[in-house]
């Protein structure tokens, strides 16, 4: 199975190289291991994350694309759908099949027709429009709902940090 996964990842990498999505760079960490990728995601325009450059890693299982990869931001990112350790929590990265909690439909979850590009575009969309009803970071979700000004200040400082700019006064 790992042979098929490697071939699929090589094909997806070639496609991303030929037609990169705006604001996204992604590639294997090195040519010896196509199962670990590094990414740079630019914060979506007209959002509190605009202009930030957020590094992340994607780890693919040996049975990819039957099982979803795992994605983790390697920088600080205060967001309702990102755990404190940087792990991304979105439906497209959840194991295929029925959701044991009944929150997601099986069509929202991982399927082998998904791709690295679709994952990355979903993450950009998540940055722009958090799902505060399914929070990985409850404090961020609560602040997103109840104190958007403070949330935006935190996001602005995270963007500044990614660009090595001085932090704004809180």
Bridge partners (DSSP) listed for residue 82: 88
For the chain, 170 residues long, give each residue's pLDDT as a single digit of tens: 579 999 999 999 999 999 999 999 999 999 889 999 999 999 999 999 999 999 999 999 999 999 999 999 999 999 999 999 999 999 999 888 877 776 777 788 899 999 999 999 999 999 999 998 889 999 999 999 999 999 999 999 999 998 888 887 65
Beta strands in the chain (DSSP E): 24-30, 33-42, 53-59, 70-73
CATH class, 2-162 region:
alpha beta
Helix (H, G, I), strand (E, B) or coil at 95: coil
Domain residues of the chain, as ranges? 2-162
CB 128 within 8 A of CB 47: yes
Token pair 């992604």 in the structure block, residue: 26
Q: Which of 39, 48, 75, 89 is catalytic?
A: 89
164 is catalytic: no
pTM: 0.91
Task: Give the C-alpha separation, 110 to 116, whole Å.
Answer: 12
What ranges in 34-147 are assigned the alpha helix state H? 116-128, 138-146
Helix (H, G, I), strand (E, B) or coil at 13: helix
CB 136 within 8 A of CB 81: yes
């Amino acid at each position: 199975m790992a042979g098929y996964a490697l071939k699929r990842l090589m094909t997806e990498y070639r496609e991303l190289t030929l037609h990169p999505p705006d604001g996204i760079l992604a590639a294997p960490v090195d040519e010896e291991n196509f199962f670990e990728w590094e990414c740079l995601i630019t914060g979506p325009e007209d959002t509190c994350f605009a202009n930030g450059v957020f590094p992340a890693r994607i780890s693919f299982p040996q049975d990819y694309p039957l099982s979803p990869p795992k994605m983790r931001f390697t920088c600080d990112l205060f967001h309702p759908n990102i755990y404190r350790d940087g792990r991304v929590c979105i439906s497209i990265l959840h194991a295929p099949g029925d959701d044991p909690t009944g929150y997601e439909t099986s069509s929202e979850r991982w399927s082998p027709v998904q791709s690295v590009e679709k994952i990355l575009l979903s993450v950009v969309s998540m940055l722009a429009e958090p799902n505060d009803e399914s929070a990985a970071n409850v404090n961020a979700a609560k602040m997103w709902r109840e104190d958007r000004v403070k949330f935006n200040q935190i996001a602005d400082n995270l963007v500044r940090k990614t660009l090595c700019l001085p932090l704004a006064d809180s």
